[in-house]
Structure 1
Amino acid sequence: MARLTRAQQQERTRAAVLVAARREFTEHGYADAKVDRIAERADLTRGAVYSNFAGKRALYLAVLTDDAERARDLARPPLRSPESTGAALGAFARVWLERLPLAGDTPASGHLQLRSLSGVVDTAPTRAALAELLRLEALLLALSLDADTPPVRTADLALTLLHGAAGLAEKAPGAGDPFDLSRAAEHLGALASGPDFGPGEPPPHLAYVAPARAVREPWTPPAGLRDELTGEPVDLGGDGVVVVLGAGRLGAVREAVGEGATFVVVTSDPAETGRLVRLRVADLAGCLRRVFAPGDLPRVRIVLDEEGTAAEAVGAASDDGTETAVRVRGGEIRARAEGYGAGHAVSRTDLER
């Protein structure tokens, strides 16, 4: 029998730990789960668990992310998207609400099914990242509803409704009627064309953003990247805009979204903050894929750069506050900007001047 390589053995150990952790969290919930019991369930030492995962929080997020990515990859897209904004919001709500626990579910198993983050997002970086992720999720839903005039505020409201229902169901399983909630989400579609919940005004700071700098720098596109929304490989060898965003700046996608834009997400803490980003993006992508035809998914690319290779190619730091953008043309970096509004500045750069 052939001996396993070190990488294969590590992958097998990680898989065993995840299986054991899922059972522990299902039985005891996040707060009462014990790493020692997880190690015992996996027939491993405590040190073997910690050599693969930073701690209980990282383990819990890894379990939730594994569930979300499996659901995303199994999602079967429809042949056609819903015909109206209201119908699309209703369909999205029905898919999203499948996670609500039933009255007979235990609190621990119900929280896991809900992908609950109660007691998990309790550090300043993860709280900041979650707030930015909510803004990103609303934009991606809005772009699916209408690529030309995305109703971001309506999408914000729909997601607030769904997250509120999840919070209620977490405390009182069985509370809230999913059919009523999906109908309510459907009626929100009427707000998308109204003056109060349309696209909204651009952020006020954009008017003061300095123009991007014209440069002539070599460009070596990183390989092995994947779009988290479609699952397709990402080739950065062509012309386009690349925006590197820290987990604390993800809302800036709203300022630079456009055809051909690729958003590279980085963080100084891949084990926890990075896993939180991966979880939420995978979860949303799985829902969008089941509601919208592939051609109607957002025409932006979201890349999770845990190794920092794409950030290094752009010349950006891999920390939560990063915002660095470049425009690539003809195999060179032709424009560059850093700081707040960098993506906005580069996406509007006229290289013909």
Structure 2
Amino acid sequence: MARLTRVQQQARTRAAVLAAARTEFVEYGYALAKVDRIAERAELTRGAVYSNFPGKRALYLAVLVEMVESAGGDAQPDAPDGLGDALGRFARAWLERLPLSEETAAGGRLQLRSLAGVVDDDHGRAVLAQTARIEALLLAIALEGCPPQGSAQRRVRLGELVLTLLGGSGALAETAPGFGDPFDLARACAHLADLDLADTWAPPHLRHIRPAEPCGEPWTPPDRAVDLITGAPVGLDGDGVVAVLGARRLGAAEEAVRAARPGEPVTVVAATGDPAETGRLVRLRISDLATCLRRVFQASTWRNLRLVLDDTGAVASAAGLPGADDDTEAAVRIADGAIAARATGRGAAHAAAAFTPEPAAPPRKDTP
């Protein structure tokens, strides 16, 4: 038999560790799981586990990411029949994660993608707060395309309300499995379509942000990236707005979305210097939501928005931001294959999206 290449051996080792870790977490839960037992299950050394994952939390997040990304959700569904239908169908897709009453506590938490006791530090909580905001934005964009559409009505608050209701049902399922009827929850979400939340978009700080600075630098992004919304590879070399947002600033994505010109592509780049934990946490939350969204809404729903994870710094560096980290907030406007403008600091995504180059001065006429 031909010898395995180093890359093949690495992939095999990683797969064995993930399979063993999933069994360990189902049996013992996150708190009581042991890396030594995971190594034994995988028939590997403890060092082999740590050479692939820096710690138990990174390993737990990797198991959840693999679960979510193998769940599918890529079929092209029929378009929802109105806002209420969309909310009900989304809720049913989300609620399929609820464990049955006979499920073990540890297995049920894994099925729920529970992060209780896993992400309990201030940094992790800040990242979760920001991912929740961008989750609400992604759901809102889909809902804003449902009839009755009105006059560009914002539905972010509705998205937040739905995710709050569903998230609460998940938290309750951890402590009281089997309580609450998922069909009732889905119907309740559908009825939220009748609420008038008077949702508007008018952040007061945007009036005071510094305009984007014109520039004419080359734009040479990586050849390919994966869009976490669709799960498909995308090119980043086209014109549009690219917002590079640290994991603790992801909520600023809406500033680019609302300021962009109609039909203009917006790429949100989630930047982090910690791919093993912070990067996986962002990827988990966005991929998990997107899997549910793709079961209800057609891929064209987000044709003007892409969300990619930049945990190597390649996209940030191409945008002239080699030191991007979890607190970065910057954006560039791409035109004709070059960086036409750049903005940094609070409101940068809005500034780059709203940038309009000054018209060229008319040629001077020679006076007789």
> TM-score scaled to structure 2, two decimals?
0.92
Identify unmatched segments of 5+ residues in structure 2. Answer: 146-151, 360-368
Deviations 1:71-110 (A, max 9, x none): 1x353231x2212111101110000000001110000000
SS of the residue aligned with 1:99?
A: coil
Q: Counterparts of 2:215 and 2:302 in 1: how far apart (Å)?
A: 33
Q: State the AA in 2 paired with 1:26.
A: V
Identify the residue that residue 117 of structure 1 maps to in structure 2.
Answer: 115
Identify the residue that residue 76 of structure 1 maps to in structure 2.
Answer: 75
Q: State the AA in 2 paired with 1:323.
A: E
How much has 1:314 moved relative to structure 2?
0.6
Q: Counterparts of 2:204 and 2:5 in 1: how far apart (Å)?
A: 54
Q: Counterparts of 1:344 and 1:136 in 2: how far apart (Å)?
A: 15
SS of the residue aligned with 1:243?
A: strand
Identify the residue that residue 166 of structure 2 maps to in structure 1.
Answer: 162
Matched, 1:293 2:291: no
Instruction: Write the mapping of 1:1-353 to structure 2, written as runs, cut at 5 A.
Output: 1-71=1-71, 73-78=72-77, 80-147=78-145, 148-191=152-195, 194=196, 197-257=197-257, 258=260, 259-297=264-302, 299-316=304-321, 317-353=323-359
**Identical-residue share of aligned pairs (%):** 60
Identify unmatched segments of 5+ residues in structure 1. Answer: none
- Larger Rg computed on CA atoms: 2
How much has 1:38 moved relative to structure 2?
0.3
Deviations 1:96-136 (A, max 9, x none): 00000111000000000000000011122211110000000
How much has 1:228 moved relative to structure 2?
1.2
Q: 1:297 to 1:238 in 2, by over 3 A?
A: closer
Deviations 1:240-286 (A, max 9, x none): 11111110000001111143010111112111111000001110110
Mapped contact 1:143–1:298 kept (Cα < 8 A): no
Q: Counterparts of 1:4 and 1:180 in 2: how far apart (Å)?
A: 52
Q: State the AA in 1 paired with 2:354.
A: R
Mapped contact 2:137–2:159 kept (Cα < 8 A): yes
SS of the residue aligned with 2:241?
A: strand
Q: State the AA in 2 paired with 1:36.
A: D
Q: Counterparts of 1:339 and 1:178 in 2: how far apart (Å)?
A: 43
Q: State the AA in 2 paired with 1:169.
A: A
Q: State the AA in 2 paired with 1:285.
A: A
Mapped contact 1:58–1:275 kept (Cα < 8 A): yes
More helix by share: 1
CA RMSD of aligned residues (A): 1.3
Mapped contact 1:58–1:271 kept (Cα < 8 A): yes
Q: State the AA in 1 paired with 2:306.
A: R
> Which portions of structure 1, spanning 4 or more consecutive aligned residues, are displaced by more than 6 angstroms?
none
Q: State the AA in 2 paired with 1:137.
A: E
23-32 or 227-236: which moved more?
A: 227-236
How much has 1:338 moved relative to structure 2?
0.4
Deviations 1:271-316 (A, max 9, x none): 1111000001110110000001222246310011122111111122
SS of the residue aligned with 2:114?
A: coil
SS of the residue aligned with 1:290?
A: coil
Q: Counterparts of 1:102 and 1:74 in 2: how far apart (Å)?
A: 22
Mapped contact 2:101–2:178 kept (Cα < 8 A): yes
Mapped contact 2:273–2:311 kept (Cα < 8 A): no
Q: Counterparts of 1:31 and 1:345 in 2: how far apart (Å)?
A: 44
Count of residues in Structure 1 that have an aligned counterpart in Structure 2: 347
How much has 1:11 moved relative to structure 2?
1.1
Q: Counterparts of 1:202 and 1:320 in 2: how far apart (Å)?
A: 26
SS of the residue aligned with 2:101?
A: coil
Q: Counterparts of 1:297 and 1:179 in 2: how far apart (Å)?
A: 28
